[in-house]
Structures are given as structure tokens and as C-alpha cells.
């Protein structure tokens, strides 16, 4: 959005109500793709019933999903100086506003190299962020009845890992610039009272990897389910799941199949057998739909 | 009629009780994905629908909607898994029978309307035929 003069009006009126909502200190953020794969722009329709926030985080379609990022420490949002051209006379003419940058640190359990890898992947996607302040307000860009994520200049997205030292903890330092054309006067917030949720409580999904899949033709598949996190030798297991925690989607018929049963093959934790009458040659996608987790494993039934 | 079509349902709650009104998971997804019905995500509907019909026997987790929709297929695929686990198979048999007794299928059937009246008796007989020895 261009930021300049509006020649159709004079000076803007400067009165204000006695009580206006103000943003507080930035705590965390929620990343979201600017556009979904179907071409629609991702935003909150302010003229419709508010969405189920947990559903946005748990959305199957990653191009529509919200990706909450944990709380930051030492957040700074400096604004570079505006650019002017100065004549020999000393007269200055406004050229453009300076860019807004973000820097913050993720500490403790949020500072793993595994999480670093997930943040680094964001650079390849055109995305924006909703800012979440310490009071749980959600801050975005209000435009034509929608609250959109604030666009990020994604090539500037730069998460960096920092090793612990004698005096400092391990951390991830994240820096990026907002889109240089973003008009900060469009920022509005939704409060926790309005939303029915404190936005600092939203958590991102945890990836589950479906591994070592063995299929018994027409009746079952057996697989391991592990997280990305853990040690090199022992990844954290996805344990204790039941049949409702899995979804089997038939890509050929575009329908969700009704799984017959799922059994965790104890004492081998994280190893499951899923029973279903697989149709030979059909393509299926097995997903974890347990709240807080996600996975996607596509295979063709033998 | 024991069940209604999705078009006739008015503001069904997004709860386990609401899920009992659907014949299939896809019908529930179609209904709850509409804006006027809450615009719920597919994964949240999938989870709640199956959770509604979930029966857990230790670490063995059964989707009773699968059993109610096609008990022959259910017995084939589940029986294949249980054939080497006779003790678990016996527990599953008892648990399935109890689940059918505890759930008023005439009220909450997920089967075709025409078959709903006989559902409880029919299913109880079907599962009774599956002895643990048969599953070996």
C-alpha cells in the first residue's frame, strides 16, 4: 500500500475518544501464508462469526493454517529513518518511509536446532504475521472488513542459532523486515475478550513422521510414528494414540475413509497397526489429526 | 425415521451427540464445514466423529462406526489383526457387545434409515458369531 498524500482531503481531524485500545509489548507472533493454494487471501472476516481459533491452528490445508511462534525475549521493532532528498538549499522532500524490522530471541526449549530448521523453511513462502502482545491481543492489518496478517519481506527472514556460553543460554535469534510498503496505520487488534481466547495460548502443531510402513494387502498397515525432536539415536515417540487420532484420506475418491481400528503394538511404543480394507491401487494419505500434531504420509495400496 | 438427511438437520451441535446424527464421516464434514454450521476444519470433524464411536480396549482402539457401517469388512480386517491375539480378541468381543448394549442404536444409528430399527439386534448377533477361536 502506497503511503503518501490524499489530495481529496485537507488535514485530518485529530480528535479522539477518551478511551482507545492500545497495543502492549510484543510477546509472540502467528505466521500465516498470505494466500491459500486456492487463491483466496487469508484473513479474518470481521463481518462474519469469528473462526474457531484452534481450527485455524489445526487446519489440514497448510496454506490456510496458522503457525504460532513461541514467546520471544528481548524483542525490538526498530523503524529505520525515512528517506528524503535534500536540496542544496536544505529543503527536504519525503521519498519513502524507513523499513520496520523485528528482532527477538527464542530461549530454552524453543531454541533447538530442530525448531531452527522449521523456522528457516519459512523463507520460501510468501507469508505474514499477526503480532500477539503480552496481554493476548491479536494485531493485524485491517482492510476492507478483514484482518490480514502483516506482510513480511520473506527473503529477509533470518533465524540464527546461538550456542550456549559460560554466561548465556542457547537460543535462536530471529530477525526480519516487514514489507516496506506496509501501512502501519492499518494495524488493529482483536482482544481476548472479543475473541474468547488469549492468543498467547495458541500453540503450533508438532510434526509426526510416519516411518517404516509395512502393508498387509487389503487389511492393514503397520508403521512407526516419531517426532522430529529427540536425540540422533532416539527420536521422541508419538505414543498413546487411538483410532480418532488418525485420518485416512482416499485421494482417488476424495473422501475420508472409516478406519476400522488402530492398535499401538505394545510393548513397542509408537508402533501402530491400522486396520482398513485398502483397495489395491488406490492412493491414500494417512494423517495425524490429534490436536496439536500433524503428519501426512501418502502411499498407494498394494 | 431414526436418522435424518444433512439437509434437514438444524444447527446440530459440534459435539459427540451431534455426530450421532450422521451416517458417515464425510456427511459430517460436509455439514460442519458450512459457514452457518460453524465452518469447522476437516481434521476437527474427523477427530470428533471417530472419537464419538471410539471404543478402546487397552491399546487396541476400535472405530465402531466402521463396525456399524460394514461389519463383514470390519471382521475381516480386524480379525486379521486379532487372529494371533486370542486373549485380546476375547476382550474385544465382550467390549463390542457391551458397547452395542450401552448405545441406543435405534436413536443414534449411523446406518441406513430402513435398517435402523433392527440395528441393535442385528449387530449383537453378528458380533456374537465371532468367537475368539474363529479369529485365530
Percent of chain A with pLDDT over 90: 85
Average the pLDDT over A288-296 and give the result.
92
Instruction: Count other Cβ atoms within 10 Å, centred on residue A77.
Output: 12
Q: Is A95 within 8 Å of A83 (Cβ atoms)?
A: yes
Residue where the block lists cell 516411518? A211
Q: Which helix (H) or strand (E) holds A275?
A: strand A271-275
Are residues A175 and A269 part of one domain?
Answer: no
Distance of CA A121 to the CA centre of its chain: 12
More confident residue, A44 or A122: A44
- Does A237 have pLDDT greater than 80? yes
Residue span of the structural domain in which A288 resides = 206-300
* Confidence band, pLDDT 50/70/90 cuts, at residue A14: confident
User: Has residue A20 been placed in a domain?
Assistant: no
User: Has residue A110 been placed in a domain?
Assistant: yes
Say if A121 is an interface residue toward chain B (CB within 8 Å).
Answer: no
Sequence-ordered alpha helix ranges (H) in chain A? 53-57, 113-120, 192-195
Are residues A295 and A178 part of one domain?
Answer: no
User: Has residue A95 been placed in a domain?
Assistant: yes
Are residues A275 and A242 part of one domain?
Answer: yes
User: Has residue A128 been placed in a domain?
Assistant: yes
Cβ of B66 and A261 within 8 Å?
A: yes
Residues on chain B touching A48 (C-beta within 8 angstroms)? 35
Query: Which one of A201, A232, A250 terminates a domain?
Result: A201
User: Has residue A6 been placed in a domain?
Assistant: no
CATH number at A234 reads 2.60.40.1220
Q: Is A132 helix (H, G, I), strand (E, B) or coil?
A: strand
Residues on chain B touching A276 (C-beta within 8 angstroms)? 66, 77
Query: Which one of A171, A201, A231 terminates a domain?
Result: A201
**How many domains are contained in chain A?**
2
Query: Measured between CA atoms, how close is B101 to chain A, in angstroms?
Result: 20
More confident residue, B135 or A213: A213
- Residue-wise pLDDT for B13-66, tens only, equals 999 999 989 988 999 999 998 888 888 888 899 999 999 999 999 999 999 999
Are residues A162 and A131 part of one domain?
Answer: yes
Determine which of A216, A237, A244 to mutate to test the interface with B (most B C-beta atoms within 10 Å): A244
Q: What is the DSSP string of A103-128?
A: EEEEEGGG--HHHHHHHHGGGGS-EE
Q: What is the DSSP string of A198-224?
A: -GGG--PPEEEEEEEEEEETTTEEEEE
More confident residue, A232 or B43: A232
- Residue-wise pLDDT for A187-206, tens only, equals 999 999 999 999 999 999 99
User: Has residue A21 been placed in a domain?
Assistant: no
pLDDT at A227: 96
Instruction: Count other Cβ atoms within 10 Å, centred on residue A264.
Output: 22
Are residues A84 and A30 part of one domain?
Answer: yes
Q: Is this complex scored with an ipTM above 0.85?
A: no
Of the ranges A33-42, A69-78, B112-121, which one carries the lowest mean pLDDT score?
Answer: B112-121
By CA distance, what is B48's nearest residue in A? A244
Question: Which residues fall within 8 angstroms of residue A18, CB to CB, at 6 or more apart?
Answer: none
Are residues A285 and A136 part of one domain?
Answer: no
pLDDT at B120: 42
Are residues A140 and A55 part of one domain?
Answer: yes
Q: Which three cell numbers stand for residue B69?
A: 457401517
User: Has residue A72 been placed in a domain?
Assistant: yes
Are residues A178 and A30 part of one domain?
Answer: yes
**Which among A55, A260, A290 has the least Cβ separation from residue B74?**
A260
Q: What is the DSSP string of A187-201?
A: EEEE-HHHHTS-GGG
pLDDT at A216: 93
- Does B8 have pLDDT greater than 60? no
Q: Which helix (H) or strand (E) holds A160?
A: strand A158-162
**Which among B42, B54, B81 has the least Cβ separation from residue A275?**
B81
Residues on chain B touching A243 (C-beta within 8 angstroms)? 50, 54, 61-63
Cβ of A289 and B47 within 8 Å?
A: yes
Are residues A196 and A211 part of one domain?
Answer: no
- Residue-wise pLDDT for A123-161, tens only, equals 888 999 999 999 999 999 999 999 999 999 999 999 999
Are residues A227 and A160 part of one domain?
Answer: no
- Does B113 have pLDDT greater than 90? no
User: Has residue A193 been placed in a domain?
Assistant: yes
Q: For residues A194 and A191, give the distance between their C-alpha atoms in angstroms, rounded to a whole number.
A: 5
Average the pLDDT over A268-277 and give the result.
96
Are residues A289 and A230 part of one domain?
Answer: yes
Query: Which one of A167, A201, A235 terminates a domain?
Result: A201
Category of B120 on φ-ψ map: left (φ > 0), alpha (ψ -120 to 50) or beta: alpha
Range 23-82 of A in CB contact (< 8 A) with B: 48-49, 51-52, 54-56, 58-60
Q: Which three cell numbers stand for residue A2?
A: 502506497
Q: Is A158 within 8 Å of A135 (Cβ atoms)?
A: no
**Which among A243, A247, A277 has the least Cβ separation from residue B54?**
A243
pLDDT at A13: 84
Query: Measured between CA atoms, how close is A42 to chain B, in angstroms?
Result: 15
Q: Is A289 helix (H, G, I), strand (E, B) or coil?
A: coil
Are residues A193 and A143 part of one domain?
Answer: yes
Determine which of B22, B39, B42 to mutate to test the interface with A (most A C-beta atoms within 10 Å): B42
* Confidence band, pLDDT 50/70/90 cuts, at residue A3: low
User: What is this structure's pTM?
Assistant: 0.81
Amino acid at each position: 500500500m502506497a503511503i503518501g498524500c490524499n489530495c481529496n482531503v485537507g488535514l485530518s481531524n485529530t480528535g479522539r475518544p477518551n478511551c482507545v485500545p492500545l497495543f502492549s509489548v510484543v510477546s509472540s507472533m502467528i505466521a500465516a501464508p498470505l494466500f491459500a493454494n486456492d487463491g483466496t487471501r487469508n484473513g479474518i472476516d470481521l463481518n462474519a462469526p469469528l473462526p474457531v481459533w484452534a481450527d485455524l491452528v489445526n487446519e489440514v490445508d497448510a496454506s490456510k493454517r496458522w503457525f504460532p511462534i513461541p514467546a520471544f525475549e528481548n524483542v525490538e521493532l526498530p523503524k529505520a529513518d525515512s528517506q528524503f532528498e535534500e536540496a542544496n538549499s536544505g529543503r527536504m522532500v519525503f521519498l519513502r518511509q524507513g523499513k520496520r524490522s523485528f528482532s527477538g530471541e527464542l530461549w530454552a526449549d524453543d531454541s533447538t536446532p530442530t525448531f531452527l530448521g522449521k523456522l528457516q523453511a519459512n523463507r520460501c513462502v510468501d507469508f505474514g504475521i499477526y503480532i500477539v502482545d503480552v496481554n493476548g491481543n491479536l494485531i493485524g492489518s485491517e482492510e476492507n472488513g478483514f484482518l490480514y496478517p502483516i506482510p513480511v519481506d520473506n527473503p529477509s527472514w533470518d533465524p540464527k542459532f546461538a550456542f550456549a556460553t559460560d554466561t548465556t543460554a542457547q537460543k535462536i535469534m530471529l530477525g526480519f523486515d516487514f514489507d516496506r510498503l506496509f501501512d502501519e496505520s492499518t494495524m488493529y487488534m482483536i482482544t481476548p475478550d472479543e475473541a474468547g481466547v488469549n492468543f498467547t495460548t495458541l500453540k503450533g502443531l508438532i510434526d509426526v513422521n510416519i516411518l517404516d510402513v509395512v502393508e498387509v494387502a487389503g487389511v492393514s498397515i503397520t508403521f512407526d510414528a516419531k517426532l522430529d525432536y529427540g536425540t540422533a539415536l532416539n527420536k521422541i515417540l508419538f505414543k498413546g494414540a487411538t483410532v480418532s487420532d488418525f485420518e485416512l484420506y482416499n485421494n482417488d475418491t476424495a473422501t475420508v475413509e472409516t478406519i476400522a481400528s488402530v492398535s499401538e503394538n505394545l510393548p513397542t511404543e509408537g508402533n501402530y497397526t491400522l486396520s482398513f480394507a485398502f483397495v489395491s491401487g488406490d492412493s491414500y494419505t494417512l494423517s495425524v489429526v490429534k490436536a496439536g500434531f500433524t503428519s501426512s504420509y501418502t502411499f498407494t495400496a498394494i | 425415521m431414526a436418522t435424518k438427511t444433512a439437509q434437514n438437520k438444524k444447527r446440530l451441535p459440534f459435539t459427540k451427540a451431534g455426530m450421532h446424527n450422521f451416517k458417515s464421516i464425510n456427511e459430517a464434514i460436509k455439514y460442519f464445514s458450512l459457514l452457518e454450521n460453524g465452518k469447522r476444519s476437516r481434521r476437527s470433524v474427523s477427530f470428533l466423529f471417530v472419537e464419538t464411536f471410539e471404543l478402546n480396549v487397552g491399546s487396541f482402539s476400535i472405530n465402531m462406526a466402521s463396525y456399524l457401517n460394514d461389519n463383514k469388512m470390519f471382521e475381516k480386517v480386524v480379525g486379521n489383526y486379532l487372529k494371533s491375539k486370542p486373549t485380546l480378541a476375547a476382550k474385544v468381543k465382550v467390549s463390542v457387545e457391551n458397547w452395542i448394549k450401552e448405545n441406543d442404536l435405534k436413536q443414534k444409528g449411523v446406518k441406513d434409515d430402513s435398517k435402523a430399527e433392527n440395528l441393535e439386534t442385528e449387530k449383537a448377533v453378528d458380533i456374537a458369531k465371532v468367537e475368539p477361536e474363529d479369529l485365530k
